[in-house]
Amino acid sequence: MAPWTPADIPDLTGTTAVVTGANSGIGLPTARELARHGARVIVAARSADRGEAAVAEIRRAVPGADVAYGALDLADQSSIRRFADTVDKVDLLINNAGIGLIPRQLTKEGWELQFGTNHLGHFALTGLLLPRLLAAPHARVVTVSSDAHSMGRLDFDDLALERGYGRMSAYGRSKLANLLFTLELQRRASSAGTGLISVATHPGATATRFVKLGPLQPLLRLFLQSADAGAAPSLYAATSPDITGGEFVGPRLKLLTPSETARSEEVARRLWEVSAQLTGVRFEEIAHR
């Protein structure tokens, strides 16, 4: 059997996809291939210049593509709410945007930036779009995590990381939160009797702007896959009929096993409750299980 490629994506005509961080990295080919197969795509990004440039690039690659830019800053809860108000329909939500390996900074609300952007931003966005997702017949939420989640640790008494901050450990914590959220979303969606599918992905080591290579760039790029290859797990998770909820899709489309902490329902419930308190987004339609 031939390996899956984006050419195997089914006809997505009539489908609306929101892709966060679709202006660059793996988000751009993710948005492009969804548009190539007929989806209406919203390129959700913080920078209008980069977002509009991505829209133009997709239209050059896919003449006639139904694609538009939407202003979204995942580090600003008011921006997330404004963006969500502009989305009238959504079938596929690709929680792709992410930051990492940065000095300690804070979101507008005062949360540690990697956790606030990568997890809390996408938690709030998903919850705000949930009524529209549940109105879609075959809705999916794909959240990009990482194998770095295995080094993540959640201290609920120090979510701001005021007692110690490491760039990599903070990134791993945010990716652990992505996986905990993905699995808990699936549990709650299933318990509520909805058809929503929630899937996590790990793109693998990819040559994008996210990866700062420094003077070793020419050498290290030999060992990194392209952004198109990095987008494959997200595209497969979003469109393959073989996907079921709660899976973790990795490079070469292999199903990965999340860490023991990521599989903990107790930790996931606590993170969900804390995230709802911090963001004010309650997921009323699937609030209990």
Active site positions, annotated: 171
Token pair 């690709």: residue: 94
8 Å CB contact between 45 and 122: no
Contact 39, 106 (CB under 8 A): no
Residues 120 and 275 sit within 8 Å (Cβ to Cβ): yes
Please give the structure tokens belonging to residue 24. 């660059």
Alpha-helical (H) ranges within the chain are 27-36, 48-61, 77-86, 113-114, 122-135, 167-191, 217-220, 227-239, 265-279
In degrees and rounded to multiples of 5, residue 166 shows phi and psi of: -130, 135
Which residue matches tokens 């988000």?
27
Chain position carrying tokens 């945007």: 97
Maximal CA-CA distance, the chain? 52
